[in-house]
Amino acid sequence: MPVISTPQAFNQDDLYIDLEAITGHRLFLKCEGFNFAGSIKLKAATAMVEAAERDGLLSQDSVLVESSSGNLGVALSMIAASKGYRFVCVTDSRCNLATRLLLEALGSEVHVITEPSPTGGLLGARIDHVRALCTSDDRYVWLNQYTNPHNHAAHYRTTAPAIARAFPDLDVLFIGAGTTGTLMGCARYFRTWHRPVRVVAVDAEGSASFGRPARRRMIPGLGTSIRPPLLDRSYVDDVVHVDEADTIRTCHRLARHGFVFGGSTGTVVHGADQWLARWDRPVTAVAIAPDLGERYLETVYRADWVQDLYGDDVLRSKTAA
């Protein structure tokens, strides 16, 4: 029986869903939403804060600040509350209302950016705002998830070995690409594993991460408007891009089977489904589900929001039924 004294001390790292009955492919979904932060971002947040403490960058007067579309902000907010730090989350207008309310409930200050940078989009504008805060007051400490090596190191130490233990015959691993911390940590681990594993990055259409032009995206989590500094393309075997309408259809498809996941998971599962449909032999495949779906009830799972942005036909598709 686990007994903990801090919320970051608990994480369920060994839960998988067999999706073959839903997708028709031998695909196992690693569920990362069962912790008090509600997402895989707890691992990176914990690693970055602990490294900053070891390096003497944090004191009780420090104010943690980070740019986040939501999940990392929640994880840092939870850790900050546990450790007694102040935390400022710089997000943008795409951040789910439930996430913003949760950040505030945890005692954090939330700055919402509404105007994109001319060159870096909303992400660039968020980063500019963080830099301005740090320039204005030396109490601000920016962990910088976009360049912090502890972001990917956390997954090298935890996520990838957990998958390796559960699936010693793993052939293919599907990972969503945001900051690419999870992607790079797992890809580096499996590059030197005892058998070859094909690492497939799943990105959102409209993301600039892999060299495509950036355009509007409305579902937070995956994709960026600038190339992620952590990304080393040499570790990625394939890239699949997923349209947001397909993300929504897949989320609703999973929900019809009792599994309510976040937008990133819908993207990853659809990308895996696409890739596996083109593969010509049976494989053992795992996809990573970064979070659950409760924070998306106002967006991905709300019919009028979906219809306003993507049209009336999205939820009428057979794949959403």
> Could you tell me if 208 and 227 are in contact, meaning their C-beta atoms sit under 8 angstroms apart?
yes
Helices (H), 144-237: 149-157, 159-166, 181-191
Q: Is 300 helix (H, G, I), strand (E, B) or coil?
A: coil
pLDDT at 316 over 80: no
**To the nearest whole percent, how much of the chain has pLDDT over 70?**
98
**DSSP strand pairing (16-18 vs 27-31):** antiparallel
**No. of helices (H) and no. of strands (E), the chain:** 11, 10
Cβ-contact 123, 153 below 8 angstroms: no
Terminal Cα-to-Cα distance of the chain (whole angstroms): 39
What pLDDT score was predicted for residue 321?
42
Measured CA to CA, the distance from residue 37 to residue 99 in angstroms comes to 11
Contact between 190 and 160 (Cβ < 8 Å): yes
Please report which helix (H) or strand (E) contains residue 199, including its range: strand 198-204
Instruction: Please say if the pLDDT value at position 318 is more than 70.
Output: no
Q: State the average pLDDT for the chain.
A: 94
Mean pLDDT of 63-83: 96
**Range 94-119 average pLDDT:** 92
* Nearest-angstrom CA–CA distance, 232 and 128: 24
What is the arithmetic mean of pLDDT over 150-159?
Answer: 98
Taking residues 306-310, what's their average pLDDT?
91
> What does the pLDDT look like over 218-276, one tens digit per residue?
888 898 888 999 999 999 999 999 999 999 999 999 999 999 999 999 999 999 999 99
3-state secondary structure (DSSP) of residue 261: strand
Strand 172-176's sheet: what is its strand order? 16-18, 27-31, 285-289, 172-176, 198-204, 238-242
Over 70: is that where the pLDDT of 320 sits? no
Domains and CATH numbers, the chain: 7-34+149-314 (3.40.50.1100), 41-142 (3.40.50.1100)
One-letter amino acid at 239 equals V
Q: Give me the DSSP letters along 20-70.
A: HHHHSS-EEEEE---BTT-BTHHHHHHHHHHHHHHTT---TT-EEEEE-SS
Kindly state the average pLDDT of the residues 172-197: 96
